[in-house]
Structure 1
Amino acid sequence: MKNDISGEDRLDRVIESVKPPGDREYIENNLTRFLHILRHLGVRISSAEAVDAVNALAAVNMLDRRQVETAFLATLAKSPEDRVILDRAFQAYFVTPEEKAERTAKQRQKREQEAREIQAVQDELKYELEDAENGESKEVSVPLTEEEKKIYTRLPEDKKSRLRDYLKKQFQGNTVNNPEQLIASMVKSSLNYWKYYLKYHGDGPPAVDYTGDEGTDEILREVVEKLRDEEQLLYQDIQNIAEADMPTATALITKLSRKLATRISRRYHRSKKRQRLDLRRTIRYNIRYGGTMFSLRYKTKKVQKPKILLICDVSGSMAKYAGFVLQFMYGLSSVTEEIESFIFSEKVERVTAEFGKPLPFEITMTELINRSEDWGRGTDFNHALAEIASQYKGLLNKETFVIIVSDTKTINVEKASLRLQDLKKKVKDIIWLNTLPKKLWLDTTSVLVFRRYCHMFECNTLAHLDKIMRSEILK
C-alpha cells in the first residue's frame, strides 16, 4: 500500500514539472483518465510506468500528436498487442469536441440499432406450440438473456437459418407437455459454443471491463469496435473481403509483413552472438598492439537469409488470394536473400522484375494484371513446373524455399505430382499454401496426391498466412 501511495505522489510531482501550475490539473486529469481506459482494455500499467510516461512527455513537443503517442508507446506498451490497443485508444481519446460529439451521436444510433436487432431476435424465435391433449396452440419464445441475443445477431446468416429451422421442427413436432426448457437449454448450449467460437476466431470483442461512466465507456466501445473490425478482416476468407474493406486489409497485410520482417532481421543479427574464440583472427587483429590481447575475436555461425521462390496460381478462383500473398511476400524483400516470383494458370510467367520497380505495390499489381495473358484463366500446374525446371534450373538449390499458392485444382494431376516430387529433391523445402478449406481435403484427390511431396497448410485468411510464414520461415 505504501509503495502505491509513494508512486502516486511521485506521479503528481512529475506532472507538476511538465507544465505551469495552471495547466497541471488539465494534464493530470487527462493522463489519469487515459491510463484508466488502457487498464480497462487489459493493458497492465504500474505507477512506475505512469511516471515514465510523464517523464517522456516532458521531453517531447506536447502539441505534436505523433510525438506524444510515441512517448506513450515507448513507456506503456510491453507487447505488439499492447501497441495496437494503445494506438486505437489514443486515436479515440484525444479528439476534438466536434469529433467527440459526432462519436456520441454515432454510438447512440448504434445502440438504437442494436435494440432493434435484439427485439427482432425476440420476434424471430417465437413459435406455435401445439398442446397434445386438447389440440390448442399457444405462442412461445425461447427465453434468452440479452448477451445470448447479441451473440445470435452476430451469427452468420446460414447458422441463424439452421437454428431457426431446428427450433421450428422441435416446437411443431414435439409431443412433450412442456418442451420449452429442454429446447431452450439446447439453444443456449449452441449459443455458448458460438460465443467462444466467435471470440477465438476473431469476431468477438476483446474482454473489456466497462466502467459505468458514459463518456469513458463510449471510448472503450469505439476501441473495441475498431479492433473487432480489424480482427474480422484478419480471420475472414480473403475471397470474401469486400471492395470497401480493401484499403484496411491492405494496410493490415503491410503491418503483418513488416512485423515478420523485423523478426527475421533480429534473428539474423542475433546469430552474430559470440560463441567460440577465434584465435587466428584475435592474434592478427592484436598485432597492432604488440601482441597484447586487447580485443578478442570470436567465431560466429551465420544464419543465412532465406531465399524464396514463389509460385502463385492466378486462375479465376485464385487471383485474389495470389494478390495478397504477393504483397505479403514483398513486404519481406528487405530481409530475404532474394524473392523469385512466378505466376501461372495455363502458362507460367516470371514476374520478379515487375516488383523491382520503384512503384507502389498497388500500381505494380494493376500493371501486372493488365499486361498478363494468364491472369484469371484455367490451371495447368504441370506445365508451370516443367517450364520452371527447364528454363530456371539455376534458381533451384538447397538454400531455396519454394512457396506454392494454389487450391490444387489443375489438369494433369498425376504428371504434376511427379514434377513436384522431382522439385522436392532440388530445394530446401516446399511449402504449399492451400486456399481450399481443410475439411474438404480428404474429398479432394489432388490434395491427397500433392501433399505427399510438400508441407501443405490451409491458407485462406490473412491470419493463416501470417502464422504459416512465422512458423516455417523462422524455424
Structure 2
Amino acid sequence: MQEKLVEFANLLRENGVRVSLAETLDAFGASEITGLGEKEAFRAALRSTMIKRASELPVFEELFELYFSGLGEIIKQASQAVQQALSMSDQDFQKFLDEVEEMLKKEGGKLSELARQLLQNNSGQLEKAIREAARAVKLSNIERTIEENYFARALARQLGLDRLEQEIKQLRDDLQKLDMSAAMRARMEEYLDRRLKALDDIIKRYVRMEREKREVQAREQQHLNRLAEKSFYYLSEDEIRQMNEAVQKLAQRLKNVIAVRRKRDKRGRFDVKRTLRQNLEYGGVPFKLRFEQRKKEKPQVVILCDVSDSVRNASRFMLEFVYSLQDLYSRVRSFIFVSDIGEVTEHFRTNDVREALDIALKGDIINVYAHSNFGHAFRSFVDDYIGALNKRTTVIVLGDARNNYNLPHDWCLREIKQRAKRLIWLNPESRNTWGFGDSEMDRYAVHCDLVEECRNLNQLYHVVDQLVPRS
C-alpha cells in the first residue's frame, strides 16, 4: 500500500499539487487507520493529509478516481463480466473456480505464472504483473490517443500474451482427454476463451486509463498557460481567483530557479592569480583551487502601483507576486496611488497577502475612485518618501501613464533615478498605445532604466525574474 501511496503522491505532483514528504508520511498513517475497506473514509484520509488548497480538490478527486478505481477495478469488472456471461451466481462461480484449480493441478503443470493468475482469478498477482510490465514498457510516457494501440501491443508483448494464447489453446485440447461431462467441458472452454479476451480488454482499458491521467496533467498545464497569457484587464472574477493560485505556483517556481542559481554561483568565478600563488609549493600544479569571494547582496524594492480601475488587476498581481518572493529581498516597501499616494507596507507585514490586498484596494488608504494624476502622485512621493531610496533600491512603477492631461512632473522620475539603483516601469497597456492621447509614457520612459509591457502573468514573471540578482 505504501508503494501505491508514493506513486499517487508523485502523480499529484506531476499535476501541479504540492505534496511534501511529511504529508506523504501522514497519508501512510491515516490510511493504516482507515484501511481500504471503506473507500470514502480512505479518500477523506488522503484528502485531509495531502491537499492544502481548495483549488487543488478537483485535481485530487479526478486522480483519486483514476488511480484507486483504476487497474484493480478494471480487473474486478472483467471478472464480473466473465461470471455474468457464464450466468453464474457468486456461489456457483466460486465453486467453478475451485474446479478450475483442480483441473490446473492435473493438466496445468507447465503453465506460466500469468496463465495461472488469470485462470484462477488471482486479481492481486495479476495486477502486480501488469504494473511491472507497464513500467518495463514505460507506459507513463503515453500522451496522445493515437499512441494507445502502440502501448497496448507493447504491454501485451511484455506480458507474454502470445505464449498465453498457445497455453490456452493447449488446455482446450487437453480438455478433450479429461473425464468430464460434455456440458462441463463446454463451460470450461467458454471460460478459457472469455478469460483470454478479458485480459486483452484489461490491457486496453488500463492503457486508456493511463493516457487519461496524463490528460489531466496536460489540461491543467494548458489552462495555466492560457491564464498566464490572458490580459489582466479582461480577467473574470473566477479567473482572478484562479490567477491567485497561479501566482503562488509561478512564484514558487521562480524561488526554486533562483535557489539553484545562487547555489551554483555561490563560489564565484575561478581566481587564477590566487590559485597560482597558493600552489607555488607544488610547482604551480593547481592542487588547491581558489575562487573569488562574492559579496552577497539582496536588493531593496520599492513598488509604486497605480490602482485605478483600468490597471487594478495588474497591480494586485504585481503586489502579490513580489510579496510572495519577499524573502529574496532585504526590504520591500509598497505604495499605491491614483492621484494621491499612500504606503501599504505595514498592511502586508501584519496581514496575509490577500487580506492586505483587499485593505489596500478598497479605498480606505487613498481615494481609488479619483481621476488618475501621475504627476501629482510622483511629486508627493518625492516630497515625502525620497529619503527611502538608496543605491541598493530598485524602484518599480506599475501604471498605464494616462495622466488625464495633468502636469506630468517627469522631473520627479529623474530625481528618483538619481537616488535609486534602478528605475523600472511596467505598463499593462499594449506598447502600440504608448504616447497617444493622454498617455505620458514617452516623457516618463526616458528616465527609466527598463520599460516593459506587462499585460499578463508570463510578462510579470519575466520582469520579476530580472529583479533578483544572479548570485
Distance 1:262-1:215 versus aligned 2 partners, 3 A rule: closer
Q: Are 1:467 and 2:457 matched, yes or no?
A: no
Q: How does 1:182-261 map to 2 (within 5 A)?
A: 208-210=143-145, 211-212=147-148, 213-261=207-255
Q: How does 1:339-354 map to 2 (within 5 A)?
A: 339-354=332-347
Asked whether the 8 Å contact 1:405–1:432 carries over to 2, the reply is: yes
Distance 1:65-1:394 versus aligned 2 partners, 3 A rule: farther
1:373 Cα deviation after fit: 3.0
Distance 1:413-1:99 versus aligned 2 partners, 3 A rule: farther
Q: How does 1:119-134 map to 2 (within 5 A)?
A: none
Q: How does 1:310-329 map to 2 (within 5 A)?
A: 310-329=303-322
What CA deviation, in whole Å up to 9, does each residue of 1:363-391 have, x standing for no partner? Answer: 22222333223224321111222222221
CA RMSD of aligned residues (A): 4.1
Q: Secondary structure at the match of 1:473?
A: coil
Between the aligned partners of 2:223 and 2:291, the Cα distance in structure 1 is: 50
TM-score (norm. length: structure 2):
0.52
Between the two proteins, the alignment pairs up a number of residues equal to: 288
Distance 1:60-1:317 versus aligned 2 partners, 3 A rule: closer
1:407 Cα deviation after fit: 0.6
Distance 1:450-1:388 versus aligned 2 partners, 3 A rule: same
Q: Which runs of 5+ in 2 are unaligned?
A: 16-20, 32-56, 71-141, 149-206, 275-287
Aligned counterpart in structure 2 of residue 372 of structure 1, from 365, 371, 375 = 365
Asked whether the 8 Å contact 1:348–1:374 carries over to 2, the reply is: no
Asked whether the 8 Å contact 1:89–1:219 carries over to 2, the reply is: no
Q: Percent identity?
A: 21
Between the aligned partners of 1:231 and 1:64, the Cα distance in structure 2 is: 36
Q: Secondary structure at the match of 1:432?
A: strand
Partner of 2:453: 458
Partner of 1:309: 302
Distance 1:64-1:220 versus aligned 2 partners, 3 A rule: farther
Q: Are 1:363 and 2:355 matched, yes or no?
A: yes
Letter in 2 for 1:430: L
Distance 1:60-1:469 versus aligned 2 partners, 3 A rule: same
Distance 1:268-1:385 versus aligned 2 partners, 3 A rule: farther
Distance 1:276-1:97 versus aligned 2 partners, 3 A rule: closer
Asked whether the 8 Å contact 1:309–1:403 carries over to 2, the reply is: yes
Q: Are 1:389 and 2:359 matched, yes or no?
A: no
Partner of 2:65: 95
Distance 1:222-1:277 versus aligned 2 partners, 3 A rule: closer
Asked whether the 8 Å contact 2:143–2:211 carries over to 1, the reply is: no
Asked whether the 8 Å contact 1:312–1:344 carries over to 2, the reply is: yes
What CA deviation, in whole Å up to 9, does each residue of 1:129-150 have, x standing for no partner? Answer: xxxxxxxxxxxxxxxxxxxxxx
Asked whether the 8 Å contact 2:395–2:420 carries over to 1, the reply is: yes
Which is bigger in relative contact order (C-alpha 8 A, separation at least 6)? 2
Q: Which runs of 5+ in 1 are unaligned?
A: 1-14, 20-26, 42-55, 67-86, 101-206, 280-294
